[in-house]
Amino acid sequence: MMEAPTVFQRRIVIGAGVCVAAFVLVAIRLVDVTLIKVGGGESVSGPAVIARADLTDRNGELLARDLPVKDLYARPHEFWDKPQAAHDLAAATGADEDRLLAGFNNARHPYVLIARRITPGAEAKVMHLGLPGLEFEPASKRYYPDGRIAAQLLGVTDPDNNGVSGLEMGLQDRLRDAAARGDGAVATSIDSRVQYILAHEVAEARKTFSAHAAGGIVMDVKTGEILAMTSQPDFDPNQRKLEDGDSTRNIIAQDVYELGSIFKIFSFTLAFEDHTLKSLDEVFKIGQGLQIGKYTIHEAERMPATLAARDILAQSSNIGTSQIALRSGGARQREFLSSLGLLKPLKTVLPETARPLYPGANWGMIETATVSFGHGISVSPLSFVAAAASVINGGRQITPTFIRQPAGTDNRSVQVIKPETSAQMRDLLRYVVTNGTGRKADIPGYDVGGKTGSAQVPGPNGHYLAHALRTSFFAAFPVHNPRYVVFVLMDQPHGTKETGGFALAAYTAVPAAAHVIARIAPLLGVPNAPEPAKEAAKPAPVEAGPTQVAPTQVAYGRSL
């Protein structure tokens, strides 16, 4: 016969039952925390955040890194005053108060996301509120120590740590793979020192000349490495909202422009390739205009009655360049520009790219003439720089890269122009700087060659805007054995008292590029060689600006 349980035994059974119930409640709570969805299907812990490796410059300097932060959630049923809680949490975190209150009053959702990736300062403010029902979940936030300096180039990530622009998007797989392997970093081709100098000088020039926008590039012509790229206005990638005047647009990679007279580089290169010039001493009649059918091409500035071929480029004559281009003809011009990659979008790891605009099937005499001096054709600045670098680097095609290359790398590929043509162009670009419109870039000891461009700005209905220019300068140094190119673009600069009211490239883009070269050349180890002998000095020419042609001819060059 079994004895009845004692009082002590009954208490043990009751205690065990209470413990089991407690464990069940804890299990239910864990399920509630980990599985119950926030409004829109997001779990309380948020989506899984995939780690990204650091982005560094070519010298190991940090450009971007994941930092540990927290996401904040709330259980609104524990608030005793929901409107006041919404107000206080919005003030502490920057969240939208109306959104919070609407979430707090929605009985279907036991959890409400307050804010993602809050800073330690915001976390301290939240803790100071003393509200019940708050939970912090580990997360990460991408941090850019240089702020605005390379904003459009580096790009940004979204709250889930996915790259949405720039190198963050273009190198996403590399960054995730490196993080998974524990490698720690992906080294870019960028040189932070050069990037800072370029961004600073371009920003100063834009401010000085009150330009709408400005940008620049520094590139190695043998490896294709982009050492620096900037677009102004820029933005702060560490902030999730833009300030007045900010822009996330990378105008160097994703916009196309009629670049004007710097396109004459290609016209002279084609003439050397086709042997359509007898010599650089060949004299061309300039006169008062060049009649092509019902159109007349004019110079924007007064030119001599005749010019030798070398001075057509040095003084930037539209009429002289048109005559030279017409000797090769439209079909050959189109074929040549296509071989340089100018008639298709440039593919790099940057997701930002642009499709060029050009005459298409209707490439006749007037189109050949206008394209020869950079009108009626629109390309991205990055595409132009890649093509022009191929002209001066020995004639071999080069594709820009944003990944650091091993020492001694030579990424030049197929021969697109003859080596002797490249040598002739280097001499001619040096002449433009010593005796032409690029004189302000004649930096003693650094043997700079280059070409200016001042183009009219297309407006609505196929008409150019009055008194509006886009100015640019392409420079190579040391030009007789080129290693680097610098390109500066200014969108609608205005003349100043110091420039006598002139806003042409010789006064705006050239000095900015010269300042960049003077500052970066010592950093890059370019020897300060003795100044080469110059030809007899000539009166400083005034750069020929954009031509005047019928409005129907600008339909191809609408800027995007």
CA distance 479 to 429: 8
**Where does 150-235 have alpha helices with state H?**
151-154, 166-170, 172-181, 192-208
Block residue for tokens 């600045």: 381
Residues 6 or more apart in contact with residue 206 via CB below 8 angstroms: 213, 214, 232, 490, 493
DSSP string spanning 354-393?
---B--TT---HHHHHHHHTT-S-BB-HHHHHHHHHHHHT
Residue 340 CB-half CA count within 13 A = 29
Using DSSP, state whether 76 is helix, strand or coil: helix
CA distance 46 to 553: 55
CA distance 37 to 480: 66
CA distance 355 to 452: 23
CA distance 195 to 519: 11
Q: Decide if 261 is catalytic.
A: yes
DSSP string spanning 117-172?
EE-HHHHHHHHHHT-SSEEEEEEEEEE-TTGGGGHHHH--B-TTS-B-SHHHHHTH
Tokens at 481, concatenated:
């054995």
Decide if 249 contacts 256 (C-beta within 8 A).
Answer: no
Query: Choosing from 189, 192, 231, 261, which is the catalytic residue?
Result: 261
CA distance 167 to 144: 13
Tokens at 414, concatenated:
């197929």
Tokens at 305, concatenated:
């009655």
Residues 6 or more apart in contact with residue 361 via CB below 8 angstroms: none
Pairing of strands 185-187, 54-56: parallel
CA distance 213 to 247: 10
Active site residues: 261
